[in-house]
Structure 1
């Protein structure tokens, strides 16, 4: 070619150049790279459950004779042979894979029997490969069983010197039994280990009933069975994972809460959880104040198992600490992705599909093994037939061989290709095959004994039986499946063990409420919107007339607006004087000491200026009845609204009732449509009527008049009578006086009347600030404007009639007055801590009660009716 031709378009080197878009080349090259990673490194094969590195390690050990019956071999030797013959990658990657196969905390059924330090559940790395030794475990040999019987395909190794299997025969479904994890390009797999016996039972079920559903298979496969034990929370996630191939399974540590010893003992950890790191994280959270109640953590683990002891502080609640640990440390999520290679392509499989793919592989293995064994059996039968035929005419055979000039002539004579003559006379000819002739010529004289002849006949009969059996296996699919079932059952009998992972009920995610101790508390709110809660048990009930103790430290110019009693786990509806209602969880209120001021409620309740809580309703009370919220206003209006109207409350609150200008919502009661209501006024009046007299209305309604008010008189509150519990009407005045009166003393009237005199609201008593119904065993919590708080049993107050002065309830300092009163029902009353508090003088109490009796005798004459 001339130099001019070299520069012609399409000539020479230019003819080999192809034009392509760079994005197309990049895309194709990346896909090729990705597939090489997916198929050759990161994902397991569905048939044997192994990645190439694991398969090559086991095959290299098999070829080197490092089996379960051999002595241990240095890990460096195994790594070297694997790397030199089959896996041309770094020795550290091979050794890491080898070490994992030996870890009983990583593999449900370890495939390598390791000797030495192969790492620990604390995250300690294995010792260097020159220090450790290994050999195959017995169950690993089951994966390679019959590999020399043409059961699987082989391929050339990386340098074409040797052959390596593309897959192992795998006598059991190793992918599900030991699981697998790996990250490929654009995909990952995370298959949990399972119990061998359960997986084999499910496989047999699928053989017997090919139309079995995932639900049918789950009758056998209860769920993952992790080598470290622990507990699976609920079964729904497991069912979803088996049905779709993907799922998020919650795994919880196994632990005991020892209330007597005041400690929590961890016995089992979730799969792949680092014990040392776990203890460190718990300690960090304790030091940071995120977990309260833990005094000490000790790791008492040994060769027999895990044992982490968490010592609790005195008085700490074990259940709360347990929930705090569950929320952050003792419960993890196992993201199951059942992704594996099927015919070289990655696929996400269901439980049934995974077992079906394994069975297809196993059927192919057993078929090819049977064909191989049939060929060998037929060859052996052919040889035996020749030897038996020779024994039948042994004299002629021996004479022919003896008179042959060479071994080859003897073989030819036995095949009928050469005539042997003796003294010019030809000997009888035979028609043995070449192989038969070869074995006959090689026969020893000792085999001519009658015993050897009998053994040959017996062997021939056995070989014929084997041929018939193998032909039946190859001819009938049911016979082939029967072989698979039998071999699986043998594996189960040899290696199956009990489940290690149990199931616990799914009680839902650990919520913040689970992290809070359940206790009864007093919640204090000030007019400047400071709020806090304190355990009610801190306040021991004392006799009436005491000063109480400090309940809150108010800033200058602030005062208490309300106090109410609730449980930390209660959901509360908080009604305000502006007619709004807000929803609040009690545990959201910060817990503080008695002398603390509290924290601003702006982050809890979005109050307007001048808005304050006037009534609180427990949502638990609403769930018990299909009833109403009955509200009264300062100006005497009352209305009932169905509780259904308060289901979805915004964070900014919703309207509870419409108010006229100058009016305020002062009290709310829960009613069921059958109660009698008692409205009390600041001026000491009261009226009782049936709640049916107030029709049910919507939230935006104003309501109807409940009581006619005298000039300058206002409603103090409303009480609903529960005849099953309530015995008295309790009235408390601003100046700290109060009384209880039998409910029957308040005769029923029609609403919108002036009512009857309830208590003398004179200069001594001051105006009424609260009215409630109470029963035996109830306690009162009385809060003063300046922050004093006192708790006293209702029985401490004298039972007197209406229109009486009452007795002293709380001894107030000059300028102080009662701001709020709440009732602790008898079901919540318990013995609190010892606190200081003055008791009323006995002589003074007797004098007050005498005055109350005298006042009661003239009460009827002073009644005011409608």
Structure 2
């Protein structure tokens, strides 16, 4: 009975060793191509199996299943689907620049359709694949035994052109990935020939030959500097854009025609993307999308509505669909049995070094063959010169072996010469055959001299390489399909072109509900029909264009941009969508101010005021909508432990004064010019010099000559006072200021609210801390002296301190 044995092994070491072996296998034997012939093992085995079975371009097609079975049975013991998929890809002329397999039947499509099953398709090697296998029988490469030691297979193919650069490759393995784009055969060969003669050539010179990748699907590459970087380092990114045309059609309309699409883009998915934009009305103007691809080539037609801007829609489609994509180059290949990231010169140089080795091995093989034949021809010629003696010797011999021995002994022929002589047929003994042998001897002498020259002279070796490359170019080169442009064109979508310009009513409530309403829905309703929650009221309500923007500022110092066209289109009588559905708000964060803008430029400024007395100006252009405005807010002011209490928008070139009021009833007036203009991340400067327990309750911007010149002040005791600011003494920033209420020893007045008087006739609703409301008009109050306390508005001590106010912004809309 066998005794069980156990080994104690460190798990981490075992895992490391096993995974290392597995990684080495999938890198070298599965996913990464060889720099010499540009093929992965499965591709090389498919091509060799078809070559070995005579399934070449000059013979008939054979069932793909037969080839797949042959590959699996003899060389590649993996699943049939992996072999067939690789075989299909080698035949797809929209993925491979120079297809290596000629397949008959359904081999898939650019729409992502799979190929027919291998029992239905037929295939053979393409004509250019012959350039990869040529001279395979001349000892040009190393051979190894297959997986079951029954057959031999080549470790690499001779490859008469740099297939890795021409056809490219893609693959993912353990720790490595490769993405090498295809290139134009003629350009690559020209660059290779030049590099043979000029091994120290720079990248700029090589790029005079190789303009850039030449994708089988054509299209346009942008970014020559990025391309040069990728070629230098082996890693980089280029922009690939569809080739398009704009056609005029009947009825004054236009049509966008896509003639070429980026490499590896699924055509059906691209058409679906464009059609989804049409259905969802992400932009206006697309009437119909059609696939008109036929035997003459790819064609996608996008019919536009009348008066639509074809250029604007095309720009939008390039930016938002796969009509333009980034192609990431990562040129990794197996070089000297190791994965290596290589620049384009490194790859070509590695191919040249390999090709020199192939030519040298082929020449040495041919030299051996020629010298062997030369030796035999010399023996035959000498034998024919003493033919009678040779015949007599053979006739005396007992058998063939004895005849060979006698010839070798009597005439000093070698064994191979003696074998050729005794095997000579009688009809070859004519005079004509002697002349042929002499001619053959002369030809063999020339070949031997030629082969010896190639072996001994590196320049002659390089001449052979260049000659064969030029022959391949002559036979197989095709015009470039992909255009290369120096600069990457920035795609700026003109919203006025893509969004229908229509008037809408935009409302934002204090509690954060937003919506836009059509003018038709608004006209059919009453102002009072606006749906609001309890204690909520409109903070902003204006007629705007769908091309405009609104910007919201919160008490936490955040800014939020919302294009009007992106707001939900909701009926007037229906409550809007809450801002928190799209943007994450802090627990106690509330909307403070809302402004409507046609454009964000430096003609406008925002003035920010905080409770701790800081103030700053920031140009409106600093708040230009961010790319992902739908899902984020961003900093408008650096608050630290402070609180934002006011935001005001003014003309950037307007000379204004600042009037600030504190809780302890100090007022300060100074020039706005004293406040510096800074960016969103700044805190600003001190507006007023506060006492320890004091805080700013409000700030008003006044024009000494027009506009706001009066304010309403409300104290915590419920007193209201209208004050003319023109007569208020002007000072400088960061002072204590002057009292705006009479100083009282007991229960002094503290400022709760400051309300600028915009229109003396307008109605203003005052709300107290216990929810009591009172409607007033500024015209009902006379301007009071600075030291007076004003008149009582609420019953002192019972109605609470004034905490909030709101105007009636909808009356103007009603008039409109």
Instruction: Give the TM-score, by structure 2 length.
Output: 0.68
5 Å-filtered alignment, 1:507-526, equals 507-508=489-490, 516-517=498-499
2:346 aligned residue (353, 357, 363): 353
Equivalents in 2 of 1:339, 1:617: separation in Å?
51
SS in 2 for 1:256: strand
Give the conservation status (yes or no) of the 8 Å contact 1:521–1:534: no
Shift of 1:325: 5.9
Q: Deviations over 1:571-621 (max 9, x none)?
A: x99999x9x996857567638699799877887999998954689695545
- Who is 1:719 aligned against? none
Task: Please tell me whether residue 400 in structure 1 is matched to residue 390 in structure 2.
Answer: yes
Q: 1:665 to 1:134 in 2, by over 3 A?
A: closer
Q: 1:379 to 1:266 in 2, by over 3 A?
A: same
Task: Please tell me whether residue 72 in structure 1 is matched to residue 61 in structure 2.
Answer: yes
Q: 1:465 to 1:816 in 2, by over 3 A?
A: same
Shift of 1:211: 2.1
- Who is 1:146 aligned against? 135
1:251 aligned residue (240, 256, 273): 240
Give the conservation status (yes or no) of the 8 Å contact 2:606–2:648: no
Q: Deviations over 1:792-840 (max 9, x none)?
A: xxxxxxxxxxxxxxxxxxxxxxx9999999xxxxxxxxxxxxxxx99xx
Equivalents in 2 of 1:710, 1:670: separation in Å?
16
SS in 2 for 1:207: helix
Shift of 1:27: 2.4
Task: Please tell me whether residue 267 in structure 1 is matched to residue 259 in structure 2.
Answer: yes
Equivalents in 2 of 1:630, 1:92: separation in Å?
65
Q: 1:38 to 1:286 in 2, by over 3 A?
A: same
SS in 1 for 2:209: coil
Give the conservation status (yes or no) of the 8 Å contact 2:106–2:116: yes
What is the total number of aligned residue pairs between the two structures?
669
Ranges in structure 2 where 5+ consecutive residues have no aligned partner? 610-614, 626-632, 640-644, 658-670, 678-683, 689-699, 712-729, 732-757, 763-806
2:372 aligned residue (367, 375, 379): 379
Shift of 1:483: 1.4
1:651 aligned residue (625, 634, 638): 634
- Who is 1:118 aligned against? 107
SS in 2 for 1:155: strand
- Who is 2:735 aligned against? none
Shift of 1:253: 3.0
Q: 1:142 to 1:389 in 2, by over 3 A?
A: same
- Who is 1:503 aligned against? 484
Q: Deviations over 1:73-106 (max 9, x none)?
A: 1222222222222223333332222222222222
5 Å-filtered alignment, 1:623-638, equals none
Q: 1:550 to 1:210 in 2, by over 3 A?
A: farther
Equivalents in 2 of 1:79, 1:616: separation in Å?
67
Give the conservation status (yes or no) of the 8 Å contact 2:234–2:329: yes
SS in 1 for 2:262: coil
5 Å-filtered alignment, 1:233-244, equals 233-244=222-233
1:61 aligned residue (42, 46, 50): 50
1:669 aligned residue (648, 651, 655): 651
Shift of 1:108: 1.3
Q: CA RMSD in A?
A: 5.2
Shift of 1:348: 2.3
Equivalents in 2 of 1:242, 1:296: separation in Å?
41
Equivalents in 2 of 1:456, 1:68: separation in Å?
35
Deviates more, 1:279-288 or 1:230-239: 279-288
Task: Please tell me whether residue 31 in structure 1 is matched to residue 16 in structure 2.
Answer: no
5 Å-filtered alignment, 1:640-789, equals 651-654=634-637, 668-671=650-653, 697=676, 700=685, 713-714=709-710
Equivalents in 2 of 1:513, 1:112: separation in Å?
48
Shift of 1:143: 0.6
Shift of 1:255: 3.1
Task: Please tell me whether residue 228 in structure 1 is matched to residue 210 in structure 2.
Answer: no
Give the conservation status (yes or no) of the 8 Å contact 1:522–1:566: yes
Task: Please tell me whether residue 331 in structure 1 is matched to residue 320 in structure 2.
Answer: no
Shift of 1:375: 0.9
Q: 1:37 to 1:614 in 2, by over 3 A?
A: closer
1:207 aligned residue (173, 187, 196): 196
2:300 aligned residue (308, 311, 320): 308
Equivalents in 1 of 2:652, 2:546: separation in Å?
18
- Who is 1:803 aligned against? none
Shift of 1:368: 0.5
Task: Please tell me whether residue 590 in structure 1 is matched to residue 567 in structure 2.
Answer: yes
Give the conservation status (yes or no) of the 8 Å contact 2:245–2:257: yes
Equivalents in 1 of 2:74, 2:539: separation in Å?
84
Q: 1:46 to 1:527 in 2, by over 3 A?
A: closer
Q: Deviations over 1:265-321 (max 9, x none)?
A: 332233233333443454455545556544433222222222222334455544236
Equivalents in 1 of 2:271, 2:157: separation in Å?
41
Give the conservation status (yes or no) of the 8 Å contact 2:605–2:620: no
SS in 2 for 1:177: helix
- Who is 1:660 aligned against? none
Deviates more, 1:311-320 or 1:112-121: 311-320
Q: Deviations over 1:399-432 (max 9, x none)?
A: 33235413555544543x13xxxxxxxxxxx333
Instruction: Give the TM-score, by structure 1 length.
Output: 0.64
Q: 1:227 to 1:87 in 2, by over 3 A?
A: same
Shift of 1:256: 3.2
Q: 1:617 to 1:588 in 2, by over 3 A?
A: closer
Q: Deviations over 1:618-643 (max 9, x none)?
A: 55456xxxxx969999xxxxx99796
Equivalents in 2 of 1:333, 1:712: separation in Å?
55
SS in 2 for 1:130: coil
Deviates more, 1:303-312 or 1:141-150: 303-312
1:362 aligned residue (337, 355, 379): 355
Q: 1:403 to 1:664 in 2, by over 3 A?
A: closer
Q: 1:131 to 1:670 in 2, by over 3 A?
A: same
SS in 2 for 1:189: strand
Shift of 1:57: 1.6
Equivalents in 1 of 2:226, 2:60: separation in Å?
44
Q: 1:187 to 1:75 in 2, by over 3 A?
A: same
Give the conservation status (yes or no) of the 8 Å contact 1:632–1:665: yes
Shift of 1:709: 6.6
Shift of 1:150: 0.5
SS in 2 for 1:341: strand
Ranges in structure 1 where 5+ consecutive residues have no aligned partner? 1-5, 7-11, 419-429, 540-546, 623-627, 634-638, 657-662, 680-691, 716-750, 753-764, 770-814, 822-836, 839-866
SS in 2 for 1:218: helix
Q: 1:224 to 1:351 in 2, by over 3 A?
A: same
Give the conservation status (yes or no) of the 8 Å contact 2:605–2:652: yes
Q: Deviations over 1:338-386 (max 9, x none)?
A: 2222233322222222222222221111110010011112222223333
Equivalents in 2 of 1:273, 1:615: separation in Å?
41
Q: 1:522 to 1:368 in 2, by over 3 A?
A: same
Equivalents in 2 of 1:480, 1:46: separation in Å?
21
- Who is 2:33 aligned against? 44
Equivalents in 1 of 2:646, 2:43: separation in Å?
78
Equivalents in 1 of 2:121, 2:596: separation in Å?
73
Equivalents in 2 of 1:275, 1:693: separation in Å?
59
SS in 2 for 1:190: strand
2:437 aligned residue (453, 456, 464): 456
Shift of 1:498: 1.5
- Who is 2:452 aligned against? 471
SS in 1 for 2:339: strand
Deviates more, 1:116-125 or 1:209-218: 209-218
Give the conservation status (yes or no) of the 8 Å contact 2:179–2:331: yes
- Who is 1:862 aligned against? none
Q: 1:154 to 1:816 in 2, by over 3 A?
A: closer
